[in-house]
Amino acid sequence: MKRASITISIIVLALAAFIGFSGAYTVSETEQVIITQFGKPVGDPISEAGLHFKIPSIQEVTRIEKRTLEWDGRASEMPTKDKTYIVVDTFARWRIVDAKVFFVRLRDERSAQSRLDDILGSETRNAIAKHELIEVIRTTKDRQPDRDSTLADSPGNIGMLYPITMGREKIEAEILTKAAIKLTDFGIELLDVRFKRINYNESVRERIFERMISERQQIAERFRSEGAGEAAKIMGKSERDLLVIESEAYKTVQEIRGVADARATEIYAGAYNKSEESVAFYEFIMTMESYQEMLDQQSTLILTTGSDIFKFLKNVDQPND
């Protein structure tokens, strides 16, 4: 009888231990728990950390993250309002605020990530399609470009930023607001949405490079044109200065030559005016010089016998035969 009672006690203790261990569970500070019975949630979510109990073998514990979670979307190509195709890479932060609704609608985080892909991807495409490219890539409308002062009067819009009405931050806020409304139906609170990276696709990138090259060529052509203009001014001034210098030099030469000729004439006059013989000799010398300048082997000179130039040829002795 005593042995039977001991056996029964052991069985009761074992059963109690089994019920205690299988029915007890703990909740940490970073999670919340949904109790399910035959696959359906029972009661409210348990978010208080500590030791809790459930019905063994009938109820199951489903643990759901309470901390902030991340969503990292796939980079997707999408058009802007001005039909420029860009590749947008987006990320977001979210958390589960209603564990029961989350469990009923999505069950786990993998399903939640898939739903975030759909909702955030769709809202991102809608927002990008409603705005110009400059709105997406610029952060504030008050930012001024660092423009070279030499290009201040350049033609066209070289170095200029187009005006914007929203900017990237407001577009991100727009995506956040619209996506957050849809995600509340799944027990999710969307905390933040940001553009991680925005790139041009290959065809757009080539057009951008071509435009950059064209702008630089315009700048270079402007500098070349201004340089050619300055060179023409310098050359014109140099030629004008050269003409002035040559004119002044010619004037000076002629003045010096005139003074020299006058002085030479004065000297000749003083030398040949001393007697009748010197005057006659001077006349003879000048006439001979005139002959030398007028006559050569191909010249024919016809003179009258009364000519002053001919008088020195009248008495020239003829050679004997």
pLDDT score of 103 more than 60? yes
Single-letter residue type at 175:
I
The helix (H) or strand (E) run that includes residue 120 is: helix 109-129
Using one digit for the tens of pLDDT, what is the confidence trace for 244-290? Answer: 898 889 889 988 988 888 888 777 777 766 677 777 777 777 777 77
Ranges 40-49, 154-163, 176-185, 215-224: which has the least confidence: 154-163
Residue 67 backbone zone (phi > 0: left; psi -120 to 50: alpha; other: beta): beta
CA distance 162 to 156: 12
Q: pLDDT > 70: what percent of the chain?
A: 78
Q: Which residues of the chain form CATH 3.30.479.30?
A: 69-200
Angle of helix 202-272 relative to helix 276-294, nearest 10 degrees?
150
More reliable by pLDDT, 295 or 17: 295
* Confidence band for 143, pLDDT divided at 50, 70 and 90: low
pLDDT at residue 159 in the model: 54
Sheet of strand 31-37, all strands in order from the earlier edge strand to the far edge: 40-46, 31-37, 59-65
**Residue 295 per-residue DSSP state:** -
**69-200 adopts what CATH topology?**
Tetrahydropterin Synthase; Chain A (3.30.479)
CA distance 136 to 133: 5
Q: pLDDT > 90: what percent of the chain?
A: 22
pLDDT at residue 1 in the model: 57
Using one digit for the tens of pLDDT, what is the confidence trace for 69-88? Answer: 999 989 988 988 888 888 99
pLDDT at residue 180 in the model: 94
**Phi–psi pair at 131, nearest 5 degrees:** -130, 155
Please provide the average confidence, as pLDDT, over all residues in the chain.
Answer: 80
Map tokens 């030559």 to a residue.
257
pLDDT at residue 321 in the model: 47
* Confidence band for 181, pLDDT divided at 50, 70 and 90: very high
pLDDT at residue 189 in the model: 94
